[in-house]
Structure 1
Amino acid sequence: MEDRSIMEAGDGAVVVKKGVLENFMLNQQNSLKFLFQRKRKSPSLSHSPSNDEDSPAISPKHIPQLSAVANSVVARCSKILKISTEELQHRYDIELPESVKQLLTYARHFVEFCSFQTLTVMSRTPDYLSDPDFRRLTFDMMLAWETPSVECESDNKESPSSSNHEEEDEDGLSIFYSSSTNMAVQVGDNKTVGPEAFARIAPVCAAVADLITVHNLFEALTSSSGSRLHFLIYEKYLRSLDKYEYLLDLYQFYQLQFHRVIKAAKSVSGSSISRLQLAANFQLAEGEIILNVDGSVPTQPVLQHIGMSAWPGKSLFLKVGRLSLTNNALYFESLGVGLYDKAVRYDLATDMKQVIKPELTGPLGARIFDKAVMYKSTAIEEPVYFEFPEFKGNSRRDYWLDICLEILRAHMFIRKNNFNETQRLEVIARAMLGIFRYRAVREGFHIFSSQYKTLLAFNLAESLPRGDEILETLSSRLTLLNVGGAQHDMAVSPHAKQKLKQSPVAILTLSQLGFVLKTETNLDLEAMVIGDICVGKTNPLEIAVKKSVSDTGRVEAAQATVDQVKVEGIDTNVAVMQELLFPIIKIANYVQLRASWEDQFKSTVFMVLTCIAISRGWISYMLAATSVYLAVLMLWRRYFNKGKPLEALKITLPPTKNAVEQLLTLQEAITKVEALIQDGNIVLLKLRALLFAVLPQATDRVALLLVFMAVVFVFLPLRYLIILVFLEPYTREMPYRKESSDKWLRRIREWWFRIPAAPVQLVKLDEKKKKKR
């Protein structure tokens, strides 16, 4: 009789044959000797849905050459996909080209293959963002991507020793892979993720990140952690992102129109809003989804100004209410007596020359508060201003400005490329997901992105250098949505062709979260979703983003120098400008000195040389010589002053003035500018009077002068005309011409003063029309 050994397990005992256990261990050791050596499994084992998770055919196998984290991820992917690791490797071999299966990158690409398929399966559930297993697994996928192999793990200084990850029992078997729970727990929480791993894994799930803005998202999440992402920060971000349920409740509320039980809504911008308060004062169109609501809390109102005259005596144009943004329009509901009035719709989808920009507001028309958003289109007579009052800063205004511009630019992108229905919905879905992510970072971490660090894709493409190339690449990617078959430059199996087709990822993501942009859209939620990232390949959109980001650093560095040299005060800025224009001012002063004829010999020589240069056509050669001189000077500085810092320009500061003196200087400058504008208007009005013969005698003289000038232009060469134009003002102070020139100038001024100005009538805007609006 064979020997038996009794192993305690809970309250009972399990009897295991010793010979069977030895054979099992021997088979395991033999199988571990061959890395990536696979054999075909029967379809009944690998594809049958009846196979249980604990079936031996799909139990995870330890791969020695993979790192501990990579083995953990692959094992958990195998459990979720209900496919053995050997079958996963077999599919990897037959579905992907040889270019991604090189020895040095095999482990990383295999981790990508398993991760991408698993994320597709996990993201099919509506509440996957709130699933702790999803958060942990996606973070571990990033860790596995950074250290996919044993060699990478040994080189990683941050990783603890392997003994911390693989504890062996008495029989020498690793308990690291004994269960999915242990596998998830034993990955160290102290590990962090770098930007490349995050940019590679996170965009696979469209709700978590977008390929265009993923690097900015990583910088926002790691702004206080030294460009390394901790799991606690990543988990907090996903928790904040999961608050989209508030908008889902609003969406369902407007769709069902009170035909369901109303439950409490989650907070928006930290404020609690009762669902009963959100009575539907406007009807949403099909596929229209509310993206944000503000102004429902008394402490955070939204003020609407029509024009800039909504002040005392004109209170009809200043309204307090609630502002809502959808994927198609802005809705403002003014607050009446305890209830909201019918909403006014401001369209963002159709082409009406809309303009949205930040604006200043203030009491009595004084523009002192930078807290408003201006909306203007051809559908309204006057611009509309939405003001977001707050005690300090203008974060509310900036947030609303960004999300409104994102929707507007998304629709402009659609119109520019004439997309079909599916492509149009995909663009809108991308913009909506970007707004969800932006709000998650804003509410979870109180981070507000700058111009080049925004988390909104279409706003970023508008501000980045080469941003138009990003949008062109995105447009070409969207054209593949209607192309069937696999989007790979390789021969794949029929099974792979069925699953690897370009999918409207953003639309599918919103549908899985509960939002439906088009009820008639036939979405195959069971198909494999292939988005912007493929295993072992660099997406063209990613290449365009990298090129644009590489130029952004130089732009930001240049902008930093601009901010450093900005000075305050009119006198100081005038002094800086005079110093910068010193060579031109010096040349102008020299010409003016010669034209004063104080030294007749030098003035005569200058006049003769200038006339000879003009008549011989030497001016063009002089300009060319000047250009060559400047080019040689720049190249000389380029090669012989390399590495030397530019010497600072020294400016002699004008006398210091107090605040009152500066205000008086500013008032004087404004008065001078106003006087110049008035003089210009008077000149134009007098010319209008001459044109319409208000003074017939003066009109006759001007007409004869114009005819004479026309004859001169026809028969006199251009160079002689230039000489005449030069000589007339230059010789005015000449002793032989001074008296006669002064006399003629006096007569011309007197004649000009006798010409009347054309009449002007100022018409005020009809106040009754404004009140009707």
Structure 2
Amino acid sequence: MENVKLGMLDGFLTKSHQKSLKSLFRRSNSSKSNGGGGGGGDGGQDSPSSAVNSPKPIPQLSPFANSVVSRCSKILRIPTEELQHHFDTQLPESVKELLTYARNFLEFCSYQTLHVVSSRPDYLSDKEFRRMTFDMMLAWESPCVENKALDKETASSSNQEVEDEDGWSFFYSSSTNMAVQVDDKKTVGPEAFARIAPGCAAVADIITVHNLYDALTSSSGHRLHFLVYDKYIRSLDKVIKASKNTLASSIGNLQLTEGEIILDVDGTVPTQPVLQHIGMSLWPGRLTLTNTALYFESLGVGLYDKAVRYDLATDMKQVIKPELTGPLGARLFDKAIMYKSTSVEEPIYLEFPEFKGNSRRDYWLDICLEILRAHRFIRKNNLKEIQKSEVLARATLGILRYRAVREAFHFFSSHYKTLLAFNLAESLPGGDSILKTLSSRLVLLNSGASQHDVSSPSKRQANLSPVSLIALTQLGFTLQKEVNLDGEVIIVGEVCVGEINPLEMAVKQSLLNTGRAEAAQATVDQVKVDGIDTNVAIMKELLFPVIELANRAQRLASWEKPYKSTVFLVFTCFSILRGWIRYVLPSIFVFFAVLMLWCRHFNKGKPLEPFRITPPHNRNAVEQLLTLQEAITQVEALLRAGNIILLKIRALLFAVLPQATDRIVLLLVFVAAVFAFVPVRYIILLVFLEAFTREMPYRKDSSDRWVRRIREWWVRIPAAPVQLIKPDDNKKKKS
């Protein structure tokens, strides 16, 4: 059963409570009473407000969890006992079990609070928000009264208001600041982060939250410190404000469409331009990515020319991939991406020069593919209006988070550790199940969720809200103007109190498969070796049983030991005549199956012994180049011989040599008659006898003579003509 998610306020907030919520956004100029902060614009305090100022501890919670709940109570303007009452009466029994009651109630309060706090556009810039969310994660790890993870002094709190210099902070704590100023040594684990952070859609995405945690804790022993978390949120706030400023200054120059958001711009620094290659032409300029297209503005004489738009939204068979570039078309530098679609005559190459590495190119490749795959997901599932905007909002927030982590921690995602949801779904094993689950949940989206009674479980299941779209709109971006984003909107759909929703289950299953894939890939990386000779030696040792079996069969067919060859010939012919030959392949499969079961039973728990290889003599660079040249020459000779055979067959098919054609026609008719009237076992027997007895002393001379005649006949067959046409390379230089 789907549980109550973020927000559920219209079920238990009265009109007077909603008015008092507005007072949280204004500084209270009245003096504080003994119990806590004043009403700030309400003209007095009613009974519920007094109860809020003196929150009662919940017996099932630890002291620190109680301090977090009390702060949530003051933000929501609802007494803690009333919060507990709504939790007990409006949520299903499955989340109120004794062992999980404290943690689920903490999630309930946290999600409501995060919904209220995130309704303010500049909440990311408030340090108290960052501290509060971090405290929620700490409390999630030690919610019960039995937990001793946090110091008792940290949990002791009175209820005095804490206001920052600007006077708009939402948060309250003890006079000693113990509940807020948590010891820097206190850290958060992955499960706590994965449960609390997605409660604010701007901070984390439920699909990539585990990768985000890994990125933030890569240098801190896989535990999240507040200083790192604080730096991440500040960086995210900076990126969002920079993106809004860029959007405001570039609308006229780029001629953006309605709902188009600028995600990143590169090439504005003269020392780090973006180079556009079209054919043999090369132009520096500025590259801009929006949620629907790429824009390139060539740099003219001190000014940028009109932007060229490369669409990512419509279906034009777009291809974006890494590519090599260089001067005059030389493929030297792995620092570019290629864009190709039906709207451009030839591929466009966008190069990102840097002194070392290709991280700049990889970043742009990731974010361009994220937008491209998001639009493909929209088209594949035929999403319209609100669902389409939600998908683009999810991709947009993912790119903004990726920018924030990259700029703050110089993080570069790997194959399975990307922070972009649609890229991750493409790379994860079973990632298609994530997209399928996401699609099924998008169908339930309803922008007017606030108009429904969320106290009804059936209606809660039938209507979810576009949480990413709402979060993006609250941050100051506009994707869809007609979406209902009033203060009472109910955010339902990303996180569940006490439950793991289907999207989380799909992600967890994919991550489990990813662990196995990464472990297997680690073993592959360990056995990779350099050098042609070394790899050939390894392959020979691995194929030794097959090579040895082929050598033994060759020795039998050469009749070096007539007795053994005769026995093998008689036994094989008898098997073919009796029809036993059809059981050979199944017997091989059964043999390997029995061998694997044998090894599994007797080698259980034992590590596999390494395969011992004696490498050949080490060769210097020149010798390796000569070996490579020789191998290439041999491959070229094989290709040439194969082409000659095909051209001679073409000549026979088109009767270039009539006499040879007549013989081939008679041979084909005879073979067709044999296959039509002779049983297959006799055909197999005849082929085997002819091949195996070719080297018999009684047949060797006649066989050699027939082979010689056939070779001489084949030499006299002419090859069909081939004409090489030089391609037209007159390409117009484009500006």
Q: Normalized against structure 2, the TM-score is what? A: 0.88
Separation of aligned partners in 2, 1:47 and 1:327: 35
Separation of aligned partners in 2, 1:381 and 1:739: 64
Matched, 1:291 2:263: yes
Name the aligned partner's letter for residue 144 of structure 2.
S
The residue matched to 1:360 in structure 2 has which SS? strand
* Partner of residue 684 from structure 2, selected from 695, 704, 722: 722
Q: Give CA deviations for 1:525-552 in whole Å, capped at 9, x if unaligned.
A: 5312123112122111111111111121
Separation of aligned partners in 2, 1:62 and 1:457: 41
Q: Give CA deviations for 1:113-165 in whole Å, capped at 9, x if unaligned.
A: 1111111111111111112221111111111212223212x2x2xx22x2454
Counterpart in 2 of 1:131? 126
Within-5 A mapping of 1:544-563: 544-563=506-525
Separation of aligned partners in 1, 2:427 and 2:13: 54
* Partner of residue 197 from structure 1, selected from 192, 204, 208: 192
Counterpart in 2 of 1:250? 246
Counterpart in 1 of 2:406? 442
* Partner of residue 61 from structure 1, selected from 55, 75, 97: 55
Offset of 1:629 from its aligned partner?
A: 2.1
Counterpart in 2 of 1:529? 491
Counterpart in 2 of 1:517? 479
Separation of aligned partners in 2, 1:575 and 1:405: 40
Q: Could you tell me whether the CA contact under 8 Å between 1:499 and 1:527 is conserved in 2?
A: no
Separation of aligned partners in 2, 1:772 and 1:123: 49
Name the aligned partner's letter for residue 692 of structure 1.
F
The residue matched to 1:373 in structure 2 has which SS? strand
Structure 1 runs (4+) deviating above 6 angstroms are 483-488, 494-500
* Partner of residue 114 from structure 2, selected from 112, 119, 141: 119
The residue matched to 1:733 in structure 2 has which SS? coil
Separation of aligned partners in 1, 2:183 and 2:462: 34
Counterpart in 2 of 1:92? 87
Q: Could you tell me whether the CA contact under 8 Å between 2:153 and 2:178 is conserved in 1?
A: no
Offset of 1:426 from its aligned partner?
A: 0.9
The residue matched to 1:323 in structure 2 has which SS? strand
Q: Could you tell me whether the CA contact under 8 Å between 2:449 and 2:465 is conserved in 1?
A: no
Offset of 1:293 from its aligned partner?
A: 1.5
The residue matched to 1:345 in structure 2 has which SS? strand
* Partner of residue 392 from structure 1, selected from 356, 360, 368: 356
Matched, 1:646 2:608: yes
Matched, 1:186 2:150: no
Separation of aligned partners in 2, 1:217 and 1:652: 44
The residue matched to 2:444 in structure 1 has which SS? helix
Q: Give CA deviations for 1:600-620 in whole Å, capped at 9, x if unaligned.
A: 232232222222222222123
Residues 514 and 47 of structure 1, relative CA distance in 2, 3 Å threshold: closer
Within-5 A mapping of 1:667-678: 667-678=629-640
Q: Could you tell me whether the CA contact under 8 Å between 2:652 and 2:661 is conserved in 1?
A: yes
Name the aligned partner's letter for residue 744 of structure 1.
W
Counterpart in 2 of 1:277? none
Separation of aligned partners in 2, 1:496 and 1:600: 84
The residue matched to 1:529 in structure 2 has which SS? coil
The residue matched to 1:332 in structure 2 has which SS? strand
Offset of 1:208 from its aligned partner?
A: 0.4
Counterpart in 1 of 2:144? 149
Offset of 1:434 from its aligned partner?
A: 0.7
Structure 2 alignment gaps of length 5 or more = 1-10, 24-38, 163-170
The residue matched to 1:449 in structure 2 has which SS? coil
Structure 1, 749-758 or 422-431: larger mean CA deviation: 749-758
Offset of 1:743 from its aligned partner?
A: 2.6
* Partner of residue 388 from structure 2, selected from 403, 415, 424: 424
Offset of 1:362 from its aligned partner?
A: 4.0
* Partner of residue 302 from structure 1, selected from 262, 271, 274: 274
Separation of aligned partners in 2, 1:772 and 1:398: 27
Residues 194 and 398 of structure 1, relative CA distance in 2, 3 Å threshold: same
Matched, 1:322 2:286: yes
Counterpart in 1 of 2:158? 175
Counterpart in 2 of 1:20? none
Offset of 1:725 from its aligned partner?
A: 2.7
Matched, 1:602 2:538: no
Offset of 1:364 from its aligned partner?
A: 5.9
Residues 379 and 760 of structure 1, relative CA distance in 2, 3 Å threshold: farther
Residues 181 and 331 of structure 1, relative CA distance in 2, 3 Å threshold: same
Separation of aligned partners in 1, 2:582 and 2:475: 69
Separation of aligned partners in 1, 2:358 and 2:12: 62
Separation of aligned partners in 2, 1:241 and 1:396: 19
Residues 182 and 484 of structure 1, relative CA distance in 2, 3 Å threshold: closer
Q: Percent identity?
A: 67
RMSD: 2.8
Q: Could you tell me whether the CA contact under 8 Å between 1:500 and 1:528 is conserved in 2?
A: no
The residue matched to 2:445 in structure 1 has which SS? helix
Residues 747 and 494 of structure 1, relative CA distance in 2, 3 Å threshold: closer
The residue matched to 2:286 in structure 1 has which SS? strand
Offset of 1:423 from its aligned partner?
A: 1.0
Separation of aligned partners in 1, 2:127 and 2:590: 68
The residue matched to 1:560 in structure 2 has which SS? helix
Residues 372 and 524 of structure 1, relative CA distance in 2, 3 Å threshold: same
* Partner of residue 208 from structure 2, selected from 197, 207, 213: 213
Offset of 1:627 from its aligned partner?
A: 2.1
Aligned residues: 688
Q: Give CA deviations for 1:8-66 in whole Å, capped at 9, x if unaligned.
A: xxxxxxxxxxxxxxxxxxxxxxxxxxxxxxxx999576555498266424324130523
Counterpart in 1 of 2:538? 576
Structure 1, 230-239 or 457-466: larger mean CA deviation: 457-466
* Partner of residue 103 from structure 2, selected from 104, 108, 112: 108
Q: Could you tell me whether the CA contact under 8 Å between 1:501 and 1:529 is conserved in 2?
A: no
The residue matched to 1:452 in structure 2 has which SS? coil
Q: Could you tell me whether the CA contact under 8 Å between 1:247 and 1:291 is conserved in 2?
A: yes
Structure 1 alignment gaps of length 5 or more = 1-39, 167-173, 258-279
Separation of aligned partners in 1, 2:380 and 2:440: 13
Residues 542 and 115 of structure 1, relative CA distance in 2, 3 Å threshold: same
Counterpart in 2 of 1:6? none
Offset of 1:211 from its aligned partner?
A: 0.6
The residue matched to 2:265 in structure 1 has which SS? strand
Residues 305 and 502 of structure 1, relative CA distance in 2, 3 Å threshold: same
Q: Could you tell me whether the CA contact under 8 Å between 2:534 and 2:616 is conserved in 1?
A: yes
Q: Normalized against structure 1, the TM-score is what? A: 0.84
Matched, 1:361 2:352: no
